Amino acid sequence: MAFQPPPPYTRSGPAGGGFGPPPPPFGGSAPYGGNQGAYTGGSSFGAPAGPRGSHSAGAGDDKLGKVKDPLLHAVKWFKTRSSKEKTMMGCVAGLLTLLVLWRTIEDHDTLFVLAEAAHFVGIGLLGWKIYSKKSVAGLSLQTQILTGIFLVVRLYCSFMMEYDIHTLLDLLTAAATAGVLYAMLATPVANTYQADLDSVKFYFVVIPCVALAVIAHPYTSHWLPFRIMWAVCVYLEAISVLPQLRMMQNSKMVERFTAHYVFCLGLSRFFSCAHWILQLLDGNKYLLTALGSGLWPVMVLLSEVVQTFILADFCFYYVKSYADGTGIVRLPVGIV
């Protein structure tokens, strides 16, 4: 390594040194014609600091004591608003976010990628909870089974019908979900699973979705079983979170990491809805053409609306809990 000369002396001092003027040369005197204590706000050789340093420090402390944190002030102001006002502000914030996305994102398929990424982050939070806390308390096994089913089916259809970036994201999310299922079924942490609170069994959700998919499925050139399987994915994804919400309601209080997971699902739903809305705002007729005709477009839109309202309700109480300063999510009886 070549020899590096020392850095020049700066205002902050050489190589991490303290604030102050450069030291006097050997045998010389300090600059500024006075002791250095008056300059630095300290004392030199036991001499008291000059009034200039002590006055500026005291004045600075007084000023800092009067400065208000704007974020804390905004949170306190938000707490004093009524529930109706908070709901209106949330709607306005959502609309402004949509407007920003509309003006900044050119390829709207990016929103679908963000939606799937948010889902993956939520599963990752569950994995971190299981690893760090050695517990699956508050987590619905039925919801994880439903999630695993629709991800595996959608992954299979994606390989057969539309291999792209969504296939990779589904693969990652399915692998993470498989890890959560393994922990809940075949590891010692399975003993912490609260089966008595997980009252909505997955087959009560799967059977109606399969029956509905046989009736309403996309009319494309693909093989009929693939089209039915794709419809099953859409219907299962729309209501797969219901067992988790019911379990939260039965437990009266939502475990923190589980709440983060469901909030990530809500964030994923927001990005997915934003994709649909922005496509329509841009007058893109391809979206309606791709859905086809008949009962299928109606069922797709209905599934989107149902899933959005289910998760939006939870996200409202999630945000409200943090706005209130507690961070503890409590769901009312009528949310599910």
pLDDT of residue 88: 72
| Residue at 284 is within a domain | yes
On whether both 170 and 236 belong to a single domain, the answer is yes
On whether both 85 and 149 belong to a single domain, the answer is no
On whether both 90 and 187 belong to a single domain, the answer is no
Tell me the mean pLDDT per 10 residues along the chain, length 336. Answer: 47 45 49 44 47 47 49 65 68 70 70 88 92 92 96 88 79 93 94 93 95 90 88 94 92 85 91 79 60 77 86 84 72 63
Alpha-carbon span 311 to 129, nearest angstrom: 21
* Residue 313 in tokens: 């309700």
* Residue 2 in tokens: 């070549």
On whether both 148 and 257 belong to a single domain, the answer is yes
pLDDT of residue 194: 93
On whether both 202 and 92 belong to a single domain, the answer is no
**b or e along 24-42 (b: 16 or more beta carbons within 10 Å of the residue's beta carbon)?**
eeeeeeeeeeebbbbbeee
pLDDT of residue 98: 64
| Residue at 188 is within a domain | yes
On whether both 99 and 232 belong to a single domain, the answer is no
pLDDT of residue 43: 44
On whether both 154 and 190 belong to a single domain, the answer is yes
Q: Is residue 176 helix, strand or coil?
A: helix
On whether both 99 and 114 belong to a single domain, the answer is no
Q: How many domains does the chain have?
A: 2
